[in-house]
């Protein structure tokens, strides 16, 4: 009987505890009331970006003590699937931050808000139009960063002057590739990059005149550009032997950081890391293909803020205020200086730093030569269709011509499956 009474008391205590825990939060063992408004941003940015973002959020919270903002990092895929699940259930973060290609699926599921009537025309006019992601006639994302683009990064110690054409790239690459200790193995490569991933193949595809889809969103993978781009990468690896036999992102990154590769094709997200690793790097636009006269054009994407369609009232007001704050010229300038990200604010784009800094100047040149990342959901199908055949070419089990044909056929099938 005594035991039963004790259990009853314990049960009542547990229930009471749950109620208390639901209404207040513990902070340093002191019960403390929450700030009136809580906002959350989900993003997929790396650690150095998170540090800058946190500093900016702290400043915002100092200005507005009634608001608490939390940033939450999630891997790209986890962010997308997590946001879809949460938002469809009427939950999720107030703000979701990322590259523009997430707009397509989010719009189709009606889980982000159109923004064209929320932000004033005057305010939107301050932003580079490439930083505003419109889809099906509505604005769904406002970006504070432009780029997410690949460039040629070179170690100035090894490459005093970067190549401007593909033939120069081969020539410099060959002069750098060497067996330094005479053991019969190559110790230093001229060039490296994550060449098993189709995203990194795009500049070669475009350089040879190809592109992934037409204006109607239909895949255009079975093209001369795809075939010649594939042949060129095979040539770099198997004939000129200026790139490693096998390289994923990590291998390529380490080779370059250790000085075992003179050049790397990598995105704007990597530059600060290379500088922090003590490398004297230069950033150059990807070379021109002499046979076509076209520049290798990477995909260019804005990275920006979208608002969860479930928010309203005061939360919405504060979320907008926060986006305006994070998009301010001061904050964009801070990010540009520390992370070498290209600001979208037109005034900041004209600043001395952006105009005169060598990395920023070349980054901008590459952005201007790049091609916008399509925001349609079918892009998923395109990537997935490219990967197997592209890798089969690299493995020597398929010709580039067969691969281009297979990619196209698979992309069409995938799109059909997605849209059934």
Q: Angle 310-311-312 (CA atoms, 0-180°, nearest 5)?
A: 125
For other proteins, the closer CB: 7 or 51: 7
What minimum distance in Å lies between the beta carbon of 254 and other proteins?
8
For other proteins, the closer CB: 347 or 397: 397
Residues of this chain that bind other proteins (CB under 8 A) = 4, 7-8, 11, 14, 77, 80-81, 84, 88, 105, 108-110, 185-186, 196, 244-246, 248, 250-251, 377, 380-381, 384, 387-389, 391-392, 394-395, 397, 410, 413-414, 417-420
Extract the tokens encoding 273: 């890391």
Q: Angle 127-133-134 (CA atoms, 0-180°, nearest 5)?
A: 115
What minimum distance in Å lies between the beta carbon of 196 and other proteins?
6
**H helices then E strands: how many in the chain?**
17, 16
What minimum distance in Å lies between the beta carbon of 84 and other proteins?
8
For other proteins, the closer CB: 63 or 178: 178
The owner of tokens 């090894």 is 158
For other proteins, the closer CB: 26 or 418: 418
What minimum distance in Å lies between the beta carbon of 108 and other proteins?
6
For other proteins, the closer CB: 181 or 250: 250
What minimum distance in Å lies between the beta carbon of 34 and other proteins?
24
Angle of helix 379-395 relative to helix 224-234, nearest 10 degrees, comes to 40
What minimum distance in Å lies between the beta carbon of 77 and other proteins?
6
Question: Is the distance from CB of 205 to CB of 220 less than 8 angstroms?
Answer: no
Question: Is the distance from CB of 362 to CB of 283 less than 8 angstroms?
Answer: yes
Q: CA-CA distance, 186 to 283, in Å (whole number)?
A: 25
Q: CA-CA distance, 193 to 251, in Å (whole number)?
A: 8
Q: CA-CA distance, 193 to 244, in Å (whole number)?
A: 9
Q: CA-CA distance, 370 to 147, in Å (whole number)?
A: 9
For other proteins, the closer CB: 129 or 259: 259
For other proteins, the closer CB: 258 or 368: 258
Question: Which three-class secondary structure state does DSSP give residue 414?
Answer: helix
Question: Is the distance from CB of 98 to CB of 76 less than 8 angstroms?
Answer: yes
What minimum distance in Å lies between the beta carbon of 397 and other proteins?
8
What minimum distance in Å lies between the beta carbon of 198 and other proteins?
12
List CB contacts of 132: < 8 A, sequence separation 6 or more. Answer: 124, 139, 141, 142, 143, 302
For other proteins, the closer CB: 227 or 342: 227
Measured CA distances, 138 to 47, 135, 333, 354 (Å) = 32, 5, 28, 30
> For 148, left (φ over 0), alpha (ψ -120 to 50), or beta?
left
What minimum distance in Å lies between the beta carbon of 346 and other proteins?
35
For other proteins, the closer CB: 93 or 105: 105
Torsion of CA 63, 43, 104, 320, to 10 degrees: -10
């Amino acid at each position: 009987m005594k035991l039963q009474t004790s259990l009853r008391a314990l049960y009542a205590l547990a229930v009471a505890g749950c109620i208390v825990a639901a209404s207040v939060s513990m902070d340093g063992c002191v019960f403390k009331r929450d700030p009136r408004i809580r906002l959350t941003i989900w993003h997929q940015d790396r650690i150095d970006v998170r540090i800058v973002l946190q500093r900016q959020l702290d400043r915002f919270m100092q200005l507005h003590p009634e608001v608490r903002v939390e940033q939450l990092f999630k891997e790209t895929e986890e962010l997308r699937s997590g946001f879809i699940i949460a938002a469809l259930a009427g939950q999720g973060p107030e703000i979701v931050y990322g590259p523009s290609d997430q707009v397509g699926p989010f719009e189709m599921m009606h889980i982000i808000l159109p923004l064209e009537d929320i932000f004033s025309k005057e305010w939107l006019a301050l932003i580079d139009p490439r930083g505003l992601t419109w889809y099906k006639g509505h604005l769904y994302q406002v970006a504070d960063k432009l780029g997410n683009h690949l460039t040629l990064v070179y170690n100035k110690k090894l490459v005093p002057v970067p190549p401007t054409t593909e033939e120069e790239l081969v020539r410099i690459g060959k002069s750098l590739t060497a067996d330094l200790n005479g053991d019969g193995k190559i110790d230093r490569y001229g060039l490296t990059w994550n060449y098993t991933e189709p995203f990194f193949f795009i500049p070669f595809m475009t350089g040879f005149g190809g592109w992934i889809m037409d204006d109607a969103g239909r895949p255009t993978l079975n093209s001369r550009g795809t075939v010649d781009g594939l042949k060129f990468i095979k040539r770099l690896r198997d004939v000129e032997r200026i790139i490693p036999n096998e390289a994923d992102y990590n291998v390529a990154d380490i080779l370059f950081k250790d000085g075992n590769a003179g050049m790397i094709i990598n995105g704007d997200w990597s530059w600060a890391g290379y500088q922090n690793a003590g490398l004297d790097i230069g950033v150059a636009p990807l070379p021109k293909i002499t046979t076509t006269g076209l520049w290798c054009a990477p995909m260019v994407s804005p990275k920006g803020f979208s608002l969860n369609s479930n928010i309203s009232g005061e939360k919405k007001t504060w979320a907008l205020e926060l986006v305006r704050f994070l998009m301010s010229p001061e904050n964009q300038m801070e990010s540009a200086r520390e992370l070498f990200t290209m600001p979208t604010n037109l005034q900041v784009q004209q600043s001395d730093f952006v105009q005169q800094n060598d990395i920023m100047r070349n980054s901008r040149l590459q952005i201007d030569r790049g091609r916008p990342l399509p925001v349609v959901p079918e892009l998923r199908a395109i990537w997935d269709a490219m990967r197997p055949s592209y890798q089969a070419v690299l493995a020597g089990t398929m010709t580039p011509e067969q691969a281009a044909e297979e990619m196209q056929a698979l992309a069409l099938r995938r799109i059909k499956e997605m849209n059934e």
